[in-house]
Amino acid sequence: MDAMNNSEAPKEALYTDIKSFFDSAPPLTHGPDISRKLNEFIGRNSVSSGKGNRVVCVTSGGTTVPLEQRCVRYIDNFSSGHRGAASTEYLVKAGYSVIFLYRRGTCQPYCRSLPDNPLLECFESINESNIQVCQSHSEAVRRAISEHHAAVAEGLLLKLPFTTIFEYLQILQLIAISLRSLGPSAMFYLAAAVSDFYVPWESMAEHKIQSGSGPLDMRLVQVPKMLSVLRKEWAPTAFCISFKLETDSKILLEKAGMALKKYGMHAVVANELLTRKEEVVVVTSSGMISVHRDNTQSGADVERPLIELLVERHSAYIEASTI
């Protein structure tokens, strides 16, 4: 047997973990349908279609870890989906076509200015057979519908939902492999909050775990780090941005810097849970840039300057790749 050098051994172990994650994951129920939608969407945006748009995969919301195969209980990851939804709107405005991979039930693009329960709060019944938009919400409803409709009709937005970590990683792999054909014009903006630990499908209880059997003892396995495989194997020429979330500001930037190197990301957006809507720090190999929400503008959010900066970096990356 050939001797392995130090870097090959962990790589082998990672590939084994990834293989066992995918082998044991329950198959996607709509896998062929997702692949068809992806191929159509990417085909419509490819150079050969005459469009040659940049395409970005935005991930948004938190993944769940089921504790039972017929799932009643699960472990969840915090994320409202606001970051992904807002960023999608700015990316479409900047000329990107967006594959929005989102957790079911989280915030959606173009719906941020609507109340929590838009159907019940934005509409009123005028008689037995007619309803109308309430005056107070009419501008927000009109904007949400027309902007969303325009993005979908122009083929600039494809929405794909997930719930579990199994669905998320399987769909992300399908997207990454499909985007490979676009080379450096493809971008990944990985804002979803992804579970670090999971229960492998084959060791998971089939039925609802019974409470009568005393304290619950359960072994969670580490979710294999897919970022490096995404970067190196699935879509090696795409521009990749991941996010680092911490609650302790003292370790945030160091951990973001480590992720940048370890996974070969082009940028890591560092954010702290409490201040994530005010400030983020973009960490790249050439330094760190702090990005703030413009408090002098009403309705301004941190995603606007963040996307401006990342689009600029992506343009420079494309230019450097074509020399």
CA-CA-CA-CA torsion sign (117, 121, 123, 128): positive
Residue pair 271/292 in contact by the 8 Å Cβ criterion = no
3-state helix, strand, coil in the chain (%, to 5): 45, 25, 35
Total residues interacting with ligand 9Z3, rule: CB under 6 A: 15
**Which is nearest to 312 in space by CA: 187, 135, 177?**
187
**Which is nearest to 78 in space by CA: 90, 61, 95, 91?**
61
Least Å distance between CB 257 and ligand 9Z3? 13
Calpha distance 86→10 (Å, rounded)? 37
**Does residue 81 bind ligand 9Z3 (CB under 6 A)?**
yes
CA atoms within 13 A on the CB side of 127: 1
Q: Which residues fall within 8 angstroms of residue 301, CB to CB, at 6 or more apart? A: 86, 277, 293
**Which is nearest to 102 in space by CA: 60, 142, 71?**
60
By C-beta, is 244 or 293 nearer to ligand 9Z3? Answer: 244
Site string for ligand 9Z3, 107-146 (x = CB under 6 A): ----------------------------------------
Q: Give the pair of three-digit tokens for residue 106.
A: 């989280």
- Count of positions (residues) in the chain: 323
By C-beta, is 77 or 237 nearer to ligand 9Z3? Answer: 77
Q: Considering only residues 228 through 247, tell me which ones interact with ligand 9Z3, judged by CB under 6 A.
A: 242-245
Least Å distance between CB 242 and ligand 9Z3? 5
Least Å distance between CB 25 and ligand 9Z3? 18
By C-beta, is 41 or 162 nearer to ligand 9Z3? Answer: 162
Q: Considering only residues 162 through 201, tell me which ones interact with ligand 9Z3, judged by CB under 6 A.
A: 190-191, 193-194
Residue pair 197/222 in contact by the 8 Å Cβ criterion = yes
Pick the binder of ligand 9Z3 from 271, 293, 305, 310 (CB under 6 A): 271
Least Å distance between CB 136 and ligand 9Z3? 26
By C-beta, is 54 or 83 nearer to ligand 9Z3? Answer: 83
Least Å distance between CB 85 and ligand 9Z3? 8
By C-beta, is 55 or 230 nearer to ligand 9Z3? Answer: 230
Least Å distance between CB 193 and ligand 9Z3? 4
Least Å distance between CB 79 and ligand 9Z3? 4
Pick the binder of ligand 9Z3 from 24, 46, 80, 181 (CB under 6 A): 80
By C-beta, is 160 or 245 nearer to ligand 9Z3? Answer: 245
**Does residue 293 bind ligand 9Z3 (CB under 6 A)?**
no
Least Å distance between CB 49 and ligand 9Z3? 32
Alpha helices in the chain (DSSP H): 8-24, 31-45, 82-93, 118-122, 138-153, 165-179, 226-229, 249-263, 303-322
Residue pair 144/86 in contact by the 8 Å Cβ criterion = no
Q: Considering only residues 26 through 55, tell me which ones interact with ligand 9Z3, judged by CB under 6 A.
A: none
Calpha distance 41→174 (Å, rounded)? 13
Q: Give the pair of three-digit tokens for residue 110.
A: 């173009």
Binding site for ligand 9Z3 (CB under 6 A): 79-83, 190-191, 193-194, 242-245, 271, 276
